Amino acid sequence: MNMAPYTDIEVNPPVSTDSDCRPLFVYIPTYNRPDSLRRQLASLSAQRPDWPGGMRVLVSDNCSSAISPDDLAAVSSEFDVDVRRNVGNIGGNANIALGFVFAREDEYLWILSDNDTVAPTALSYLASQGRVGDPDAIVLTTQSSAPSDFVHEWTRAWDDVHENGLISNVIYRSSVFSDQAALAFYYHNTSFPHLCVLLGTLKERSSLRYRVLPSAEIFAPAGDHGEQAGDYSLSYAGMPQLLPLLPRRQARKFARLWLREQGLEFFNRRTVLPGIHLSSKAHLKKYGGIRARLLLFALEIWSVTLGRLVAPLERLARRLLPERFKRAIRSRRS
């Protein structure tokens, strides 16, 4: 059994300079998805020989109620992986951020969601196509059908983020990103700790080299796993706290775009995480410019006046609507 507490996992090993032999570290944060976890580990275990530099897997359970310590011990033995369990639920973002702590300097780090199940040939494809040129990161995207190379410039930091906010979509060359790993904890309230490490490294280096691969070659077709659903309240409340990691012009652009697309949800959920809401609002005012301030003002007026009337009006309309219209609406939905 490879059940390891936090303090027993090695974090300071020697560094390999041979990119062809660079090991792969797959870090899987999990919470209340036992079936998804087993499905993921079964697919990965079958592919271990396909990564030429060797692969290690660490499962980090966030004190699941649906997964017991005995369950984790069985998983460790069955799939020959290391497992650890947080003493309490530290929040999904902190559990994700620990991937940067446990990664070794000579490895590629893949923070892999438990329910983004890898395809049967994923590792052989990554090994043959992803390591070309020893990139700073391997980026997986739905917008590409063939491998390519891309240089991400800090001057276009937000424009070129694309799908990098999804934890499974970036594989990091650890030695490039390790200096900025602390940002994952400093910015954990953004709900995108992994993206903060990427943006902080981009800001420090001014550019990053990506090897871009089609995600269709890496992940099995998505389906409803029927387990613990994600909670996106923190992303609605905290995402604007990414703004200090962007160039000023990009920050203004992102703030205005985010308010137009997510502003109503941001204010509708302001009582869920009130402290983070206030901090994010301060970030939007500081970095978003006059247009963002005007949007904030308009959204706040809406939320405290007309916005409060929407739900009661919808309930009243449902009561007063003739039954034939209700049947017609139900038939269209089905």
> 202 lies in a domain?
yes
Final residue of a structural domain among 217, 249, 264:
217
Distance CA 183, CA 194 (A): 9
**Bridging pattern class, strands 24-30 and 108-111:** parallel
Predicted confidence at residue 79, as pLDDT, reads 96
Please give the residue that has the higher pLDDT: either 226 or 234.
234
* 67-88 pLDDT tens trace: 999 999 999 999 999 999 999 9
> 320 lies in a domain?
no
Per the prediction, the chain carries an average pLDDT of 88
Distance CA 316, CA 258 (A): 32
Q: Note whether 297 and 178 are same-domain residues.
A: no
The set of residues, in sequence order, having a beta carbon less than 8 Å from that of 23 and lying 6+ positions away, is: 16, 51, 53, 54, 55, 56, 104, 106, 107, 108
> 25 lies in a domain?
yes
Question: H helices within the chain, ranges in order?
Answer: 34-46, 69-79, 92-102, 122-125, 174-177, 183-186, 193-205, 233-238, 248-268, 274-287, 289-304, 307-320, 323-333
Q: Note whether 166 and 42 are same-domain residues.
A: yes
Instruction: Say yes or no to pLDDT of 143 above 50.
Output: yes
Model pTM score: 0.85
Q: Note whether 42 and 128 are same-domain residues.
A: yes
Predicted confidence at residue 10, as pLDDT, reads 41
Q: Note whether 131 and 246 are same-domain residues.
A: no
Measured over the CA atoms of residue 146, residue 148, residue 154 and residue 159, the dihedral's sign is: negative
Where in the sequence is the domain holding 97, given as residue range(s)? Answer: 6-217
> 156 lies in a domain?
yes
Q: Note whether 208 and 246 are same-domain residues.
A: no
Q: Note whether 179 and 287 are same-domain residues.
A: no
Going by C-alpha positions, the residue among 243, 117, 263, 137 that lies closest to residue 192 is 243
Is there a contact between 207 and 153 (Cβ–Cβ < 8 Å)?
yes
Question: Would you give the DSSP letter of residue 106?
Answer: T
Q: Note whether 199 and 299 are same-domain residues.
A: no
- Tally of domains within the chain: 2
Predicted confidence at residue 310, as pLDDT, reads 54
Q: Note whether 40 and 184 are same-domain residues.
A: yes
Predicted confidence at residue 254, as pLDDT, reads 96
Distance CA 175, CA 166 (A): 21
Distance CA 252, CA 249 (A): 5
Instruction: Say yes or no to pLDDT of 246 above 90.
Output: yes
Predicted confidence at residue 306, as pLDDT, reads 62
> 1 lies in a domain?
no
Q: Note whether 169 and 305 are same-domain residues.
A: no
Q: Note whether 186 and 99 are same-domain residues.
A: yes
* 87-139 pLDDT tens trace: 999 999 999 999 999 999 999 999 999 999 999 999 999 999 999 999 999 99
Measured over the CA atoms of residue 78, residue 83, residue 88 and residue 90, the dihedral's sign is: negative
Q: Which CATH number goes with the domain that contains 51?
A: 3.90.550.10
Distance CA 333, CA 134 (A): 50
Question: Would you give the DSSP letter of residue 303?
Answer: H
Is there a contact between 96 and 189 (Cβ–Cβ < 8 Å)?
no
Percentage of the chain lying above the pLDDT 70 cut: 84
Is there a contact between 197 and 184 (Cβ–Cβ < 8 Å)?
yes
Give the best-scoring range by mean pLDDT among 115-129, 213-227, 256-270, 301-315: 115-129
Q: Note whether 34 and 157 are same-domain residues.
A: yes
CA distances to 314, 320, 328, 329, 331 from 324, in Å: 17, 12, 6, 9, 11
> 232 lies in a domain?
no
> 170 lies in a domain?
yes
> 229 lies in a domain?
no
